[in-house]
């Protein structure tokens, strides 16, 4: 096999949850560029149509599905639809997620549960739905979009950090349970990525200066910049391809070096 063929996704079917914009859109696009048949979901018809138009503009034939990934019945129905239309799902990326930046003592139990439901329970539901087909066909790739908050805590993100820490351990456990079935489950831990979700943290102040958090991230990151969704394309293709067949249960942090860096002396 030619070296670069190991990174090809020709003939594969990939599903990226939350693939309408941001990181999910970039990964879905990367898989299509690598030869895969691609599908994504979102919960809004409006966002679904907007995303399909964007994929069409860049020449990608992506299939979009309306589905709430926290609803097991809807997930089963979507997986069956994709199986019938595109084939068995070879690659699942659990990307859909939310964050609520609220101090812990001010966060309601309902808000905490909502974050955990989307960021942790949904990847469990999605993985559970695709693993039986992966077992039958003798191979599969599951990639969970974790976070630096899988390793670190920070003010106002208690629910998100709890969910992403749990997702890291779900990743390791899927590897442990199904590695013998030639299923690889790994995670990608993005650093601070410039997406619509993080836009409020990058807004310029009235005097033209950087947002304090923006400046904090630039200072703490050896690359001295925010990441962009395209930075995740290579890692996502690697973990979805044959090139990573002996990589399992790992979290690949794509963070510009922030987790390796203690920071400059004040």
**Residue pLDDT, tens place only, 162-211:** 999 999 999 999 999 999 999 999 999 999 999 887 888 899 988 989 99
Q: What percent of the chain has pLDDT over 70?
A: 99
Side-chain-side CA neighbours of 50 within 13 Å: the count stands at 12
* Calpha distance 68→81 (Å, rounded): 15
Nearest to 32 by CA among 6, 56, 3: 56
Q: Per mean pLDDT, which range of 3-7, 79-83, 131-135, 232-236 is the poorest?
A: 3-7
Q: What pLDDT shows up at residue 2?
A: 67
Our CA angle for 59, 62, 63, nearest 5°, is 150
What are the distances in angstroms from CA 246 to CA 47, 91, 153, 159, 186?
37, 16, 30, 32, 11
* Calpha distance 94→128 (Å, rounded): 12
pLDDT-derived band of residue 244, with 50, 70 and 90 as boundaries? very high
Kindly report the pTM of this predicted structure.
0.96
Q: Which pLDDT tens digit goes with each residue over 212-224?
A: 999 999 999 999 9
Q: What pLDDT shows up at residue 208?
A: 87
Q: What pLDDT shows up at residue 264?
A: 82
Average pLDDT in the 112-132 region?
A: 98
- The residue with greater pLDDT, 197 or 242, is 242
Nearest to 223 by CA among 195, 266, 194, 186: 194
Catalytic annotation, residues: 160
Average pLDDT in the 140-167 region?
A: 97
pLDDT-derived band of residue 4, with 50, 70 and 90 as boundaries? confident
What are the distances in angstroms from CA 104 to CA 64, 117, 121, 150, 164?
36, 17, 20, 17, 16
Q: Which pLDDT tens digit goes with each residue over 23-41?
A: 999 999 999 999 999 999 9
Nearest to 97 by CA among 149, 61, 138: 149
């Amino acid at each position: 096999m030619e070296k670069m063929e190991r990174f090809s996704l020709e003939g594969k079917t990939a599903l990226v949850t939350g693939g309408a914009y941001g990181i999910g859109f970039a990964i879905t696009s990367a898989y299509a560029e690598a030869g895969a048949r691609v599908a994504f979901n979102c919960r809004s018809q409006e966002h679904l149509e907007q995303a399909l138009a964007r994929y069409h503009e860049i020449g990608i034939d992506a299939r979009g599905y309306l589905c709430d990934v926290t609803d097991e019945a809807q997930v089963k129905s979507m997986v069956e639809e994709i199986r019938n239309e595109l084939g068995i799902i070879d690659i699942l990326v659990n990307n859909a997620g939310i964050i609520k930046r609220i101090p812990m003592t001010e966060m309601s139990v309902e808000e905490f549960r909502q974050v955990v439901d989307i960021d942790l329970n949904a990847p469990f539901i999605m993985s559970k739905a695709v693993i039986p087909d992966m077992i039958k066909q003798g191979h599969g790739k599951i990639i969970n979009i974790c976070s630096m908050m899988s390793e670190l805590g920070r003010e106002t993100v208690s629910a998100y950090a709890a969910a992403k820490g749990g997702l890291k351990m779900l990743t390791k456990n899927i590897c442990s349970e199904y590695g013998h079935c030639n299923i690889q489950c790994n995670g990608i831990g993005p650093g601070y990525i410039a997406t619509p979700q993080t836009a409020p943290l990058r807004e310029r102040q009235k005097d033209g200066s950087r947002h304090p958090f923006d400046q904090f991230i630039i200072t703490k990151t050896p690359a001295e910049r925010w990441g962009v969704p395209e930075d995740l394309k290579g890692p996502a293709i690697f973990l979805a391809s044959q090139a990573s067949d002996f990589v399992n249960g790992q979290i690949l942090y794509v963070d510009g070096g922030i987790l390796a860096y203690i920071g400059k002396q004040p």
